[in-house]
Amino acid sequence: SDCVQSSSRLASSHHAPSKEVRLDCLPQLQPCHLHRRHRQSCKRCAAFRGLPVGTGIAAGISPSPSASREAATNLDRECSSSDKCLALEGFSSKLQSQVLQSAYFRYVLLCLNDVESLVDELQNHADHAEPYTPHSHNDPSTLFCCIYRLSQLQPSKEQVQQLVGFKGSVMVRAAGMLHIRFSWPPGDAWTWLRKFLFDREFFRPGCSASASVTMGDWVESLLRHEKPLGCNTSLLLTRVRKGTSSQWAGLVRSLQTSDLRRKSLPRTHHP
């Protein structure tokens, strides 16, 4: 079913100066997944402009109950059909449920049907690479919502290659690497991610004022730790270590001996 597009706009007032505009008659605007109330300065909230609070349906200022129910049913059907049989390694059932119930995912990301649109969304809105928004364990982050939608779109390997090598945004690269980590078979994930163990680009993966790390160190943590970013991916790690223990030991030694060399090379910093 087609996503419902926001169509309600507040017409300019032509009332006489003596008449007041009743603010309580204006529709409340739906906030984004980060705010309790709609904020005019927030780009995410702007995506929800025209969605009445409590319904999440863009059906004008006064949507009829039947129209709201029909639109909600269509969106629920689209959600259930698009996530059917999609279980991502690293996405717990709780996190997956939170993503699917997120207004941002349901009313923004489900309207994006190609990888290029997701790249734009990541560039404009993703600001960290953790599963949840700051100070929350219930609101999934922009990046993780986009990763789930990316897995639904099933990008080709050529498209994934463009993501992990993207020059315009380090968060796009991080999303591509997490997609590989969570969605690909263990052997393929290992083969692709180990190429970036010596990547020297710097970025801040945390949602607070965390220290910068190199992309190589961050990728190493994705492969080393059984629960990177708090996500359970031990099955992938166990399979990889069983088949590539000698290769892993060799790479660890290489990382240790080349640490000084990597620090002396030019670095690309990102805020």
Number of domains observed in the structure of the chain:
2
pLDDT of residue 76: 53
Q: What is the per-residue pLDDT for 186? A: 78
Residue with tokens 């364990």: 137
> Residue 214: left (phi > 0), alpha (psi -120 to 50), or beta?
beta
Assess if residue 5 is contained within a domain: no
CB atoms within 10 A of CB 155: 19
Check residue 264 and give its pLDDT.
54
The residue range of the domain holding 61 is 27-82
Are 237 and 149 within one domain? yes
Tell me the pTM: 0.65
State which of 13, 48, 82 marks the end of a domain: 82
Statement to judge: residues 166 and 243 lie in one domain? yes
The angle that helices 170-183 and 186-193 make with each other, rounded to 10 degrees, is: 150
CA 178 and chain centroid, separation = 10
Q: Is residue 16 in some structural domain? A: no
One digit per residue, the tens of pLDDT, for the chain of length 271 reads 445 444 343 334 344 444 443 434 434 556 665 666 666 667 666 655 544 343 333 333 334 445 444 444 545 555 555 444 466 766 788 888 999 999 999 999 999 999 999 999 999 999 999 899 888 888 999 999 999 999 999 999 999 999 999 998 999 999 999 999 888 887 788 889 988 988 999 988 887 666 788 999 899 888 876 555 545 444 445 555 555 666 666 666 655 655 555 555 555 444 4
